[in-house]
Amino acid sequence: MLDTVMIQSGPLLEFGNWLQNRQFALDIVGSSWAYPYVQALHFSGLSLFVGTNLALDFNLLGLWKGRETASELCSGLILWNWIGFVIGIVGGFLLFAASAATYVINPAFRMKLVILIPVGLILHIVVQRKVLYEWSKMPEMPKIARLVGLIELLCWLSVATAAVLIPYMD
Amino acid sequence: MRSICEALQHSKTLLTILGWAPFAAGLEVIHYVGVFIMVGSFVLVDLRVMGLAARKRGVGEFAAQLFPYAWTGVAMVALSGFLMFTTSAADYYSDPSFHKKMLVTALALITAVIVQIGAPRWDRMSSIPLTAFKVVAFICLVSMFWAIIEGNLVPAVSGIG
């Protein structure tokens, strides 16, 4: 309760109000076409980023396993994985800016941005480094790889769930 | 067809199940994650065919690894999408922006199937016309992202969803 009151009257809300009154944010909200295109940009980036993250997690879990090893798959995906991340961040920032004051007080958005995404990102970087530089040198994937793949998969599902819950908590 | 859509939209059983917020939110999560897996996997194969990703990996092996994930995504999108469609089936049925979304999605999936059929033959180079195959992969890639745009335009244009 105290936390909510502080946010509703604090610098975060001031920042949100300042951001959503920038011209580019007003242009997004003011146009009936800009918002869906910005949303599509965000989703396109996420498709590349989350889609390739989950593909690697499925491989680590041994689901629908082809002839590619996790390290071969990871090296093939890594460039577009991070390009997708950048596109997703740009689209996400523009969406956030359009209604920043509403987002900063939304519990689902705060959970997504402050806890789930940082945890997911750290885990993702650890998984990529382990797959590329450590586990690939072993004769076979260690059992922990499956567990880490499962945790990362659940983490991105939690991010998607928090994102879907944002309008429910407005 | 219209009468089926009317019946779906006004079904009290479906309305009760799909009107329950946790179920509706769960469907949305499955739909979005399905789109991410589907588009992410298909597009990476398209980029590989076009020579813009995973160039050290053989097209056939890379595609064989990603296609099962992509079709899992398609199944998630189709199942959740159909259930979400039923809540406003009659409205969607007469909505041109929804028709456009479905047409573009169909184009994306048809070209994805062509890429899937051609990918194992790619490594034997001589058996398929490479430029034509790259063009199909490019059309698939563009239609995947175009389908995302159309998906976001449906509520903006028609107010449904």
Extract the tokens encoding A145: 């790889």
* Side-chain-facing half-sphere of B71: CA atoms under 13 Å: 10
CA-based torsion, A3, A5, A8, A14: positive or negative: negative
Q: What is the pTM of this model?
A: 0.91
- A168 contacts B21? CB cut-off 8 A: yes
DSSP state of A132: I
Indicate yes or no: CB of B40 within 8 angstroms of CB of A164.
no
Q: Which of A25, A161, A8 is nearest to A93 (CA)?
A: A25
Mean pLDDT value of segment A45-49: 97
Q: Residue B8 has what pLDDT?
A: 85
Residues 6+ apart with CB under 8 A from A83: A48
**Residue A10 to chain B, least CA–CA distance (Å):** 31
**Any idea which residue has 């009257």 for tokens?**
A9
Query: Interface pTM (ipTM) of the complex?
Result: 0.90
Instruction: Write out chain B residues lying below 8 Å of A45, CB-based.
Output: none
SS (H, E, C) chain B: CHHHHHHHHCCHHHHHHHCCHHHHHHHHHHHHHHHHHHHHHHHHHHHHHCCCCCCCCCHHHHHHHHHHHHHHHHHHHHHHHHHHHHCCHHHHHCCHHHHHHHHHHHHHHHHHHHHHHHHHHHCCHHHCCHHHHHHHHHHHHHHHHHHHHHHHHHHHHHCCC
B chain contacts of residue A73, beta-carbon cutoff 8 Å? 65
B155 to A36: CB separation less than 8 angstroms, yes or no? yes
Task: Among A50, A72, A77, select the one facing B36 at the smallest CB separation.
Answer: A50
Query: Whole-angstrom Cα distance, residue A10 to residue A37?
Result: 32
Instruction: Suggest the residue from B30, B36, B42 to mutate for an interface test with chain A (most A CBs closer than 10 A).
Output: B36
Q: What is the pLDDT of residues B68-97, one digit of tens each?
A: 999 999 999 999 999 999 988 888 898 999
Contact with chain A for residue B32, Cβ under 8 A = yes
Q: Has residue B62 got a pLDDT over 80?
A: yes
* pLDDT, tens digit, 9 for 90 and up, residues A136-150: 888 888 889 999 999
pLDDT at A166 over 70: yes
Domain boundaries, chain B: 2-158
Q: Do A40 and B145 touch (CB under 8 A)?
A: yes
Question: Hey, is the C-beta of B50 within 8 angstroms of any chain A C-beta?
Answer: no
Cα B135 to Cα B7, B111, B120, distances in angstroms: 42, 10, 17
φ/ψ (deg, to 5) at A166:
-55, -50
Interchain pair B43, A35: CB under 8 A: no
